[in-house]
Chains A and B, each alone.
Chain A
Amino acid sequence: MNNNEIIPWFILLNPLITAVLILFVFRKNHGTAATVSTMSAFFGLVGSLCAFTLAPTHTLVLWIDIPGLQIPIGVQLDHLSQVMLLVVTGIGFLVHLYSTVYMEHDESKARFFGHLSLFMFSMLGIVLADNFAMMFIFWELVGVSSYLLIGHWFTRDAAGKAANKAFMMNRIGDFGFMLGILMLWSTAGTVTFKGLEAATGTLTTNPMFLTAAILLVFCGAMGKSAQFPLHTWLPDAMEGPTPVSALIHAATMVAAGVFMLARIAFLIGLSPAAALIIAWIGAITSILAALMATQQDDIKRILAYSTLSQLGYMVMAIGLAPDPSGGPAMFHLFTHAFFKALLFLGAGAVIHALHHEQDIWKMGGLSKHMPKTTVTFAIGTAALTGFPLLAGFWSKDSILAAASEKSTPLYIIGLCVAVLTAFYMTRLFVVAFLGKPRTEAAHHGHDCPARMTVPLLILAVLSVIAGFVPEKWFFSAHQHFHWNIAIPATIAFAVGTAIAFKIYSGKDKDPIRVSAFRNKFYLDEIYGAIVAGTQDVLAYIANAVDSLISGIVRLAGMAAWGVGFLFRLLQFGNVQGYSFVFGLGVVGLIWFVVFK
């Protein structure tokens, strides 16, 4: 084995070993657990930096190998995975560092770090996977680690429920994902991405079939990347600790769906119908989520809806421009990871300082007491809303350019989302950080210790410069700068920001009330009614029918075998009774053999 082969395997296995070590050896030793986990995340980052310079490689071992079915566990180190490795390990390390302070007094700190390392392992498995089956395996493991981390404070009822909901929504998506994999495999005879790429000739013989298969695989992404209508779990997932929200439910795991779609961009490119549907699902998610975000009061939920909206952007971009190098979608995933992680960690710093207050209307005036947090949060907000020359500006620009080329309605939706993004983020910033403190807690805000602020500063710098990476990181063709896109986008930013300033500065409560937005279009209630109306009713009926079957069988049994007679003849719990019934069998056999 040479470096090219060892480094990717090291990156993959390092967090697994750490997780096992923490969960089995250091589970009572909280300080050690945190240190080991953070060190391991750091080594992962170093490994990813080394891997970035490596030539593309591909190694595998066969996990299942029987005639007709080969499932490898293999790493595919190429451009797409190299960039994604940097995002996952980079933000992963910063979040680990931040968590050492944020979770300092948690009574289950070791468990937290163990699960965090387990998550890193699962996520890196998705990134490095060279085939669908392996990706599905790690996909499920990411689901488990997310379940564990959302439910970290499982004694709270809401946390347990949110963890369940996240897992279930993902399972529903994975139903489609697995079916899509089966369809592609049965036709192409392989699950590896390289093999599928080579088999495009076979796959395109039936375009309807291919479209259906791609859309089913996309269902998996709809679950993981929380696309409408499977998006409702993500806001609830904010019940988890804030560092988890930053790492998993903003920067990395929820981006896995987008990453998967980028991995199979070569397939999506073969089916324009599938690409169009994917783009529209993304667009619908992004506009609905942006509307919901405008009326939320919980700082983490606003950011969660913003994440949904931005994920919708990325999915739309995949549908518009399926580029095997990633295209605008991966570019936006890359920049978004930095500024959204920054915003979440900033929110975490606020929540930490305010003793777990999350309502923005109970904050206010934080800029005076928490200058570092405020400045970094402002940079994150500016980057997200598309302030010219910051990271989000460039990636959003490339998405809008793709939209304007392909579809005017999607371009208009994209611009509307840009206005709304600027609006709700400015609302959040104005209400929470500017003006006067509205509660006692907000008076006593303070900046957090260095291990919490250093990650904020690093992420703030990255949020400024991430847009300037070489374009060959994400694009196979040369990109032009579009004035005709940049100007409307900047106007959208300015309009949204200005309106929010005008409405919200100096206000003590929300002057606008749109109950449909505030109540998430009542989708949770609707889903609850659907589950109660179908599954629960069916389960009730099935259970009743089953009692009936049981009764019928009993009657039939009594009639046919004269059980009433046997019951009287044999004593309950009696050896002879049971042996007698058994003996009938042997007698029957002898009768058959001898007399038949």
Chain B
Amino acid sequence: MTVLNFIVLLPILNAIAIACGAPARKSALLSAWTQLALTIVAMCGYRGGFAYGSTWAVAPEWGLNLTFGADGLALVMLLLTAIVTVAAVWVTPKIEKRENLFYACVLLISGGAAGAFASVDMFFFYAFHELALIPTFLLIGIWGQGERQVAAWKITIYLAVGSMILLVGLAKLYLAFPEGARTFDMIEMTKARHLIPAAEQGGIYIWLLVGFGVLISLFPFHSWAAPAYAAAPTPAAMLHAGVLKKFGLYGLIRIAVPLLPEGAKVWMNLLLVLLVANILYIGLVTIAQKKLDWMLGYSSVMHMGYIFLGIAAGNAIGITGASLLMLGHGLSIAALFAMCGYLRQTSPSLAFTSLGGIAKKAPFLGYAFGMAAFASIGLPGFANFASEAMVFFGAFKAGPAATLDFSSIQLATVCGLWGVVISAVYMLRAYRQIFQGEPQANVAAFKDPSCSIKWSVILLLAALMVGGLWPKSMLNFIQPSVEALIGK
């Protein structure tokens, strides 16, 4: 047993214990903090390559084993998982019905996500993600608000379809290796990538792109996201938008980028069109939103476009930037949803017109929301800026230099840069309408949140600032892993 096994097992076992009747909130908090501590221990002890390996044979004749192991990229994703888990558990308000099941679900999402990131075996990588989806559906369906059951079914069916498309893609990928070389071990697959015939890559890549794309809310497969996040209880929205959605991106970087470079070329222009739609079109949809939760949901969809842009760049700069942006986006959207959840509890409505002047009543919330908003629109000082800048540098470098005949990816970069203007439009407008101005009558009794919400937001913001002020702290983990993946 390695520290990595504990990171995955701890939340799952705790979820079971809580479901069986252990004190819910206390156990969950203890589990989340321990998970974070273990992750930090694992990061401190990391010395390169795939570390903390452990394996149990399941079906060796198919090359199927329960194998764990983590490189720098996986560790950063595990760190994201652990931090958001702590925050999500911490901000959870008093649960009226079936409290134990609620906390068990929250921990199970975390455990599933951690399992996926820590898996070296492709089958379990997939299975852990599915494991994390079930409690997500339950949380929305049972403890959600508004049209929670419609939203729960929408996300269930949508993501199940996406998962199945992904499954077909993964199976095709498995079968693309010649008999005898077939394995589910992603490290082995990367080593043997030359065995995949170039002509077949395009046919596999598109399945993976669509399958992962649905999970990531790539345009036009995004319409599940905003209603689900609006209906989800706060911890579920934080964990799904912040962590679980990154599974798809992580999968693309871990599987599609190293194994199917020729396939990526075939579908490059399609991907660029879709990601520009994510940035510009969804950006415009976000501007049109009139409620905070929907706006945050759409903004999260929009920001996926930047991560796709970094992946599309295909070079070390772009993919490293995309990886860091996964961390930045995950932390900032979790912070925003945490505060949005508090606003929902305390205000009659999340419509911009019915809020106003909250900064005067709740100075902490005014500051913290402003910081998280600035982080999400890419202001320096937060991880999002450093990573978005790297994405832009990488994507622009993927085209020719010293000419005004921009290639398609350079044009996509230009669109992405304009997206930075769009995101400022909706974020600042929302901030002005909710927080600035004289306090409206219906927020007269508004107060700053309790300590637990305050400190979990501070934790998220502090992590964002570490990544933003000192990006090397994270890049030292990410960059060697990315280099190893793309083989340079």
Residues of B within 8 A of A155 (CB): 357, 360, 436-439
Asked if B149 and A573 sit within 8 Å, CB to CB, the answer is yes
Q: Does B379 contact A (CB under 8 A)?
A: yes
CA distance A577 to B138 in the complex (A): 10
Asked if A582 and B133 sit within 8 Å, CB to CB, the answer is yes
Asked if A167 and B379 sit within 8 Å, CB to CB, the answer is no
Q: Does A514 contact B (CB under 8 A)?
A: no
Residues of A within 8 A of B317 (CB): 66, 68-69
* Residue from A66, A549, A572 whose CB has the most chain B CB atoms within 10 Å: A66
CA distance A516 to B382 in the complex (A): 44
The verdict on A540 contacting B288 (CB below 8 Å), with A64-B471, A178-B392, A186-B396 known, is: yes
CA distance A546 to B221 in the complex (A): 11
CA distance A501 to B242 in the complex (A): 66
Q: Does A29 contact B (CB under 8 A)?
A: no
Asked if B141 and A581 sit within 8 Å, CB to CB, the answer is no
Residues of B within 8 A of A545 (CB): 281
Of B5-13, B264-272, B412-420, the stretch lying at the interface with chain A is B412-420
CA distance A159 to B360 in the complex (A): 14
Q: Does B479 contact A (CB under 8 A)?
A: yes
CA distance A159 to B289 in the complex (A): 24
CA distance A577 to B130 in the complex (A): 14
Q: Does A25 contact B (CB under 8 A)?
A: no
Q: Does B454 contact A (CB under 8 A)?
A: no
Q: Does B432 contact A (CB under 8 A)?
A: yes
Q: Does A164 contact B (CB under 8 A)?
A: yes
The verdict on A182 contacting B436 (CB below 8 Å), with A68-B317, A542-B288 known, is: no
Asked if A572 and B284 sit within 8 Å, CB to CB, the answer is no
Asked if B401 and A187 sit within 8 Å, CB to CB, the answer is yes
CA distance A203 to B317 in the complex (A): 22
How does the 8 Å CB contact mask read for B276-294 relative to A, with 1 for contact and 0 for none?
0000011011011100000
Of A137-145, A301-309, A406-414, A434-442, the stretch lying at the interface with chain B is A137-145
Q: Does A567 contact B (CB under 8 A)?
A: yes
Q: Does B397 contact A (CB under 8 A)?
A: yes
Chain A positions 537-587 with a Cβ under 8 Å from a chain B Cβ = 538-543, 545-546, 549-550, 553-554, 557, 560-561, 563, 566-567, 572-573, 575, 577-579, 581-582, 584-586
Residues of A within 8 A of B22 (CB): none
The verdict on A573 contacting B389 (CB below 8 Å), with A581-B156, A585-B167 known, is: no
Asked if A171 and B421 sit within 8 Å, CB to CB, the answer is yes
Q: Does B249 contact A (CB under 8 A)?
A: no
Q: Does B134 contact A (CB under 8 A)?
A: yes
Q: Does A228 contact B (CB under 8 A)?
A: no
CA distance A208 to B404 in the complex (A): 8
Asked if B161 and A557 sit within 8 Å, CB to CB, the answer is yes
Q: Which of B134, B167, B390, B483 lies in contact with A588, CB distance below 8 A?
A: B167
A122 smallest CB distance to B (angstroms): 9
CA distance A554 to B154 in the complex (A): 8
Q: Does A487 contact B (CB under 8 A)?
A: no
A233 smallest CB distance to B (angstroms): 13
Q: Does A477 contact B (CB under 8 A)?
A: no
Chain A positions 509-557 with a Cβ under 8 Å from a chain B Cβ = 535-536, 538-543, 545-546, 549-550, 553-554, 557
Asked if A561 and B157 sit within 8 Å, CB to CB, the answer is yes
A-B contacts, CB under 8 A, total: 203
Residues of A within 8 A of B439 (CB): 155
Asked if A549 and B424 sit within 8 Å, CB to CB, the answer is no
Chain B positions 383-419 with a Cβ under 8 Å from a chain A Cβ = 385-386, 389-390, 392-394, 396-397, 399, 401-404, 413-414, 417-418
A268 smallest CB distance to B (angstroms): 18
B385 smallest CB distance to A (angstroms): 8
B436 smallest CB distance to A (angstroms): 4
Residues of A within 8 A of B421 (CB): 168, 171-172, 175
Q: Does A212 contact B (CB under 8 A)?
A: yes
Asked if A63 and B379 sit within 8 Å, CB to CB, the answer is no
Chain A positions 67-106 with a Cβ under 8 Å from a chain B Cβ = 67-69, 71
Residues of B within 8 A of A64 (CB): 386, 390, 471-472, 475
Task: Report the contact-size class of chain B (Cβ under 8 Å from the partner).
Answer: 35 or more
Q: Does A1 contact B (CB under 8 A)?
A: no
Q: Which of A65, A206, A593 lies in contact with B174, CB distance below 8 A?
A: A593
Asked if A66 and B479 sit within 8 Å, CB to CB, the answer is yes
A288 smallest CB distance to B (angstroms): 24
CA distance A582 to B380 in the complex (A): 41
Q: Which single residue of chain B is at the shortest CB-CB distance from A173?
A: B421
How does the 8 Å CB contact mask read for A469-485 relative to B, with 1 for contact and 0 for none?
00000000000000000
Residues of B within 8 A of A156 (CB): 437
Asked if A589 and B390 sit within 8 Å, CB to CB, the answer is no
Q: Does B77 contact A (CB under 8 A)?
A: no
CA distance A168 to B377 in the complex (A): 12
Q: Which of B393, B402, B432 lies in contact with A161, CB distance below 8 A?
A: B432
The verdict on A68 contacting B315 (CB below 8 Å), with A185-B393, A561-B161 known, is: yes
Q: Does A205 contact B (CB under 8 A)?
A: yes
The majority secondary structure among interface residues of chain A is helix
Asked if B138 and A542 sit within 8 Å, CB to CB, the answer is no
CA distance A263 to B476 in the complex (A): 33
Q: Does A154 contact B (CB under 8 A)?
A: yes
CA distance A545 to B320 in the complex (A): 34
B438 smallest CB distance to A (angstroms): 5
CA distance A138 to B439 in the complex (A): 33
Q: Which of A185, A542, A563, A582 lies in contact with B134, CB distance below 8 A?
A: A582
Q: Which single residue of chain A is at the shortest CB-CB distance from B159?
A: A581
Chain A positions 131-184 with a Cβ under 8 Å from a chain B Cβ = 133, 136-138, 140-141, 144, 151, 154-157, 159-161, 163-164, 167-168, 171-172, 174-175, 178-179, 182-183
The verdict on A179 contacting B414 (CB below 8 Å), with A585-B164, A593-B174 known, is: yes
Asked if B403 and A209 sit within 8 Å, CB to CB, the answer is yes
The verdict on A68 contacting B436 (CB below 8 Å), with A557-B161, A582-B134, A593-B174 known, is: no
CA distance A179 to B284 in the complex (A): 21
Q: Which of A68, A154, A553, A561 lies in contact with B397, CB distance below 8 A?
A: A68
Residues of B within 8 A of A557 (CB): 157-158, 161
Residues of A within 8 A of B127 (CB): 586
B98 smallest CB distance to A (angstroms): 11
Asked if A586 and B138 sit within 8 Å, CB to CB, the answer is no
Asked if A69 and B138 sit within 8 Å, CB to CB, the answer is no
CA distance A203 to B402 in the complex (A): 7
Q: Does B381 contact A (CB under 8 A)?
A: yes
Asked if B390 and A69 sit within 8 Å, CB to CB, the answer is yes
A4 smallest CB distance to B (angstroms): 25
The verdict on A67 contacting B161 (CB below 8 Å), with A168-B421, A575-B138 known, is: no
Asked if B160 and A582 sit within 8 Å, CB to CB, the answer is yes
Q: Does B34 contact A (CB under 8 A)?
A: no
Asked if A178 and B141 sit within 8 Å, CB to CB, the answer is no
Q: Which single residue of chain A is at the shortest CB-CB distance from B286?
A: A539
The verdict on A582 contacting B392 (CB below 8 Å), with A168-B428, A593-B174 known, is: no
Asked if B483 and A546 sit within 8 Å, CB to CB, the answer is no
10 example contacts (A-B, Cβ-Cβ < 8 A) are as follows A144-B374, A154-B437, A163-B432, A167-B428, A168-B428, A535-B425, A549-B220, A550-B223, A572-B149, A585-B164
Q: In the complex, given contacts A154-B436, A185-B393, A582-B133, what are 7 additional A-B residue pairs having Cβ atoms less than 8 angstroms apart?
A: A154-B435, A183-B396, A186-B402, A541-B284, A553-B220, A561-B161, A585-B164
Contact surface of A with B, Cβ cutoff 8 Å:
62-69, 71, 133, 136-138, 140-141, 144, 151, 154-157, 159-161, 163-164, 167-168, 171-172, 174-175, 178-179, 182-183, 185-187, 202-203, 205-206, 208-209, 212, 535-536, 538-543, 545-546, 549-550, 553-554, 557, 560-561, 563, 566-567, 572-573, 575, 577-579, 581-582, 584-586, 588-589, 592-593, 596
Contact surface of B with A, Cβ cutoff 8 Å:
62, 64, 123, 126-127, 130, 133-134, 137-138, 141-142, 149, 152-154, 156-158, 160-161, 163-164, 167-168, 170-171, 174-175, 220-221, 223, 281-282, 284-285, 287-289, 315-317, 320, 357, 359-360, 374, 379-381, 385-386, 389-390, 392-394, 396-397, 399, 401-404, 413-414, 417-418, 420-421, 424-425, 428-429, 432, 435-439, 471-472, 475, 479, 483, 488
